[in-house]
């Protein structure tokens, strides 16, 4: 899981460079940048309080804890209990809330604007996450990710197709959670159009490093769940799922950012609601297939 988290960003950067005909950054340049930040101290504004200082720790801790519940195909996760699918979704939400509150604590109008957008996008994408998790639980009869994917190996062909669709949904959810094109662009420097990056303007040094690492871990959570869903239909082995997670997340983000521009802010709500509707449709189709209901 940690290896997936570290390599996804490298694949994204290399994919963008290849499609643009550039030499591009070194594969692990993002890791070297973080190592520099980890050696620097943090600078705090006089108007910020304790909430701003603990937010990076909460963001990183929640992302890391969510990572521990996700299996990599036939490899069991480090932590597991009945109902942990709900906990994983709420841990991802907790990391988002911590960053939103920290942005509001600065008193900056720009960061408050980014926090309000992040809160809106989070509220819109969370139903998609819960519906996708509910589809997994419905198929396998379990509410633990470890039990879900251990049981999913015995699904029939029809339900396996739905698992492939679920993998696609989780990749779309990752675009929103990671703040990537077309929802957001981490490379932009226009504060009026920034969402995730504008909330991190006041962070520096080790605090900024923890936020970046937490973002990598959140990407790995969604990427590995998507790869597990694909592995059910192809090859349910960790040797397949781990590279598949890197390629699914890295290539999809890299190709999308190379071939299209980010949405206008007014279109982002429609885009996210479309992902939620897609997740609901997958749940409905899966229910019909489980009940052997013929669709005329």
Say if residues 77 and 71 touch (Cβ distance below 8 Å): yes
Domain boundaries, the chain: 2-290
- CA of 263: how far to CAs of 44, 266, 295, in Å? 33, 8, 35
User: Span 45-61, mean pLDDT?
Assistant: 94
Inform me whether the pLDDT recorded for 151 exceeds 70: yes
* Predicted pLDDT at 149: 87
Q: What are phi and psi of 75, to 5 degrees?
A: -90, 125
132-145 pLDDT tens trace: 999 988 888 888 99
Q: What are phi and psi of 55, to 5 degrees?
A: -60, -45
Give dist(CA 91, CA 112) in Å, integer. Answer: 22
Q: Which residues contact 287 (CB under 8 A, 6 or more apart)?
A: 138
* Predicted pLDDT at 295: 52
pLDDT band with cut points at 50, 70 and 90 for residue 130:
very high
* Predicted pLDDT at 234: 86
The closest of 2, 72, 70 to 31, measured between CA atoms, is 2
* Predicted pLDDT at 292: 74
Give dist(CA 121, CA 170) in Å, integer. Answer: 16
Q: What percent of the chain has pLDDT over 90?
A: 74
- The distance in angstroms from the start CA to the end CA of the chain is 43
Inform me whether the pLDDT recorded for 157 exceeds 80: no
Name which of 88-97, 128-137, 158-167 the model is least confident about: 158-167
- Prediction pTM value: 0.94
* Predicted pLDDT at 243: 96
* Predicted pLDDT at 79: 95
Give dist(CA 125, CA 122) in Å, integer. Answer: 5
């Amino acid at each position: 899981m940690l290896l997936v988290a570290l390599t996804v960003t490298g694949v994204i950067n290399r994919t963008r460079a290849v499609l643009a005909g550039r030499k591009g950054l070194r594969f692990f340049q993002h890791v070297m940048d973080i190592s520099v930040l980890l050696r620097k101290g943090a600078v705090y504004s006089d108007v910020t309080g304790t909430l701003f200082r603990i937010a990076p720790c909460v963001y990183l801790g929640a992302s890391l804890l969510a990572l521990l519940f996700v299996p990599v195909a036939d490899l069991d996760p480090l932590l597991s209990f009945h109902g942990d699918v709900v906990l994983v979704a709420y841990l991802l939400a907790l990391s988002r809330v911590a960053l939103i509150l920290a942005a509001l604590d600065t008193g900056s109008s720009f960061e408050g604007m980014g926090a309000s957008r992040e809160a809106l996008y989070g509220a819109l994408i969370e139903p998609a996450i819960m519906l996708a998790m509910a589809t997994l639980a419905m198929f396998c009869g379990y509410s633990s990710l470890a039990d879900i994917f251990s049981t999913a190996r015995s699904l029939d062909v029809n339900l396996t197709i739905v698992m492939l669709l679920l993998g696609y949904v989780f990749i779309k959810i990752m675009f929103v959670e990671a703040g990537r094109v077309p929802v957001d662009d981490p490379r932009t420097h226009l504060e009026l159009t920034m969402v995730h990056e504008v909330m991190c303007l006041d962070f520096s040094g080790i605090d900024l490093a923890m936020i970046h690492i937490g973002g990598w871990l959140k990407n790995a959570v969604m990427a590995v769940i998507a790869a597990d869903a694909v592995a059910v239909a192809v090859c349910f082995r960790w040797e397949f799922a781990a590279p598949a997670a890197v390629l699914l997340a890295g290539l999809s983000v890299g190709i999308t950012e190379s071939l299209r521009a980010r949405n206008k802010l007014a279109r982002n709500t429609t885009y996210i609601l479309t992902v939620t509707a897609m997740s609901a449709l997958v749940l409905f189709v899966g229910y019909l297939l489980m009940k052997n209901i013929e669709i005329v």
